Amino acid sequence: MFVFPIVVHTVDEASPEIPTGTKPVVKKEPRIVGGKPASMEQFPYQVLIYIYTHEGKHLCGGTIIGEQYVLTAAHCMFGITADKVEVLAGHINRSLSKENWIRLSVSEIYVHEDYLMDKVYNDVAVLKLHERLSLDGKRAASLKLRDTEVSSDVRCTVSGWGTTKEGGSVSSILQYIDVPIVDRHTCSGQQKRPLYDGEICAGYSSGGKDACQGDSGGPLVCDGYLTGVVSWGEGCARQNKPGVYANVAWYKEWIEKRTVSLNTEGPPSTISVVPDNPNPDEPDKTKTETETDKESNGAINGFTNGIVVLSFITILTYLID
């Protein structure tokens, strides 16, 4: 089973040591599979997150949920300090220089205190930004948190810069796909472990469309509300293996307690989402942007070459070396 930690990219840094008893298994994994290129006006709430360790620069996704807050996956931030994280907003092209983006530093990282790394459970984290974002709705916008359970078969949108197939490389342009919510009982029976409270599934029984390596922490949006956080999956876009997401409605109270004056009431966002019908070492400051942006397999928090088996779950990560 691949934990979607699909949103992790590594660029050049070191990752915390693997906890005693875990055994890494080397293997690659991909990004948004079966998707289409996005436009900025469709996804102003999406951010690109770089996590720096001595092994390189890791990539994850995240969602703006307020002027000063971003929601992402706990597996992207576990064991990471705020000074090792950079948030980029306001663009969809990862290959452009950072001057084209809104660059944001992080002051605080709130990883769910009951996050279980071996099971990838309670996989949510909140980032507090040093600066407040100007939410103009064009280059930056926030999404409201869903506070009710989403029904099966509702079509939702997931987006990210992850790989487009298992074993592939990450995308330069933000990709998105439309996927239906899968009944919990059905999904639980298709996974290598039963679903826990706080998890939902989305995907097609036929496979072909899914989030993947490098998409971790990114948004699953249903009816204009932030409904899920890309968490894990068994491979990418496989038949009868829907992706698993942290259920935002389940964690809404936890999220709100870690944010200040976060407006989550009122109607859903009017943003147009177009469906398809352990402290790491300091980064190496001497490396150039070109050197650190080379894409390769890597690791974060001990997840080497894209995948690590924690108990019976495989986590997908991506390193931009």
pLDDT band at 303 (very low <50, low <70, confident <90, very high): very low
- Same domain? 243 vs 159: yes
Residue 264 lies in a domain: no
Tokens found for residue 114: 């009951």
Q: Which of 27, 36, 35, 19 has its CA nearest to residue 3?
A: 27
- Same domain? 193 vs 246: yes
229 vs 61: CA distance, rounded Å: 9
Domain boundary among 193, 225, 250: 250
Domain boundary among 232, 250, 268: 250
- Same domain? 166 vs 122: no
Residue 299 lies in a domain: no
Q: What is the mean pLDDT of residues 87-94?
A: 97
Number of structural domains found in the chain: 2
- Same domain? 231 vs 186: yes
Quick check: 63 and 143 in contact, CB under 8 A? yes
Residue 24 lies in a domain: no
- Same domain? 164 vs 124: no
- Same domain? 167 vs 120: no
Could you tell me the CATH number of the domain that includes residue 100?
2.40.10.10
Percent of the chain with pLDDT over 90: 56
Q: What is the mean pLDDT of residues 23-33?
A: 40
- Whether 230 has a pLDDT exceeding 80, the answer reads yes
- Same domain? 172 vs 125: no
Residue 179 lies in a domain: yes
List active site positions: 75, 123, 216
What average pLDDT does the chain have?
A: 77
Q: Which of 34, 57, 76, 122 has its CA nearest to residue 216?
A: 76
Q: Which residues of 103-135 are buried (b: 16+ CB within 10 A; e: fewer)?
A: ebebeebbbbeebebebbbbbbbbbbbeeebee
Q: pLDDT tens for residues 107-118?
A: 999 999 999 998
- Same domain? 115 vs 168: no
pLDDT band at 94 (very low <50, low <70, confident <90, very high): very high
Higher per-residue confidence, 121 vs 275: 121
> What is the predicted pLDDT for the residue at 321?
58
| C-alpha neighbours within 13 Å on the C-beta side of residue 169 | 9
Residue 99 lies in a domain: yes
Domain boundary among 250, 270, 289: 250
291 vs 102: CA distance, rounded Å: 22
- Same domain? 97 vs 161: no
- Same domain? 164 vs 213: yes
DSSP at 75: H
Q: Would strands 225-232 and 144-145 be described as parallel, antiparallel, or unpaired?
A: parallel
Provide the whole-model pTM.
0.78
Residue 125 lies in a domain: yes
Residue 104 lies in a domain: yes
Residue 307 lies in a domain: no
- Same domain? 48 vs 124: yes
Who contacts 27 (Cβ-Cβ below 8 Å, separation ≥6)?
Answer: 305, 306, 307, 314
Tokens found for residue 20: 């005693």
Rounded to 5°, the CA angle 24-26-27 comes to: 130
Alpha-helical runs (H) found in 167-315: 184-190, 248-257, 289-292
Q: Which domain holds residue 101?
A: 44-129
Q: pLDDT tens for residues 139-152?
A: 999 999 999 999 99
Q: pLDDT tens for residues 190-203?
A: 888 889 999 999 99
- Whether 3 has a pLDDT exceeding 80, the answer reads no
Higher per-residue confidence, 285 vs 47: 47
- Same domain? 74 vs 110: yes
- Would you tell me how many other CB atoms lie within 10 Å of the CB of residue 66? 25
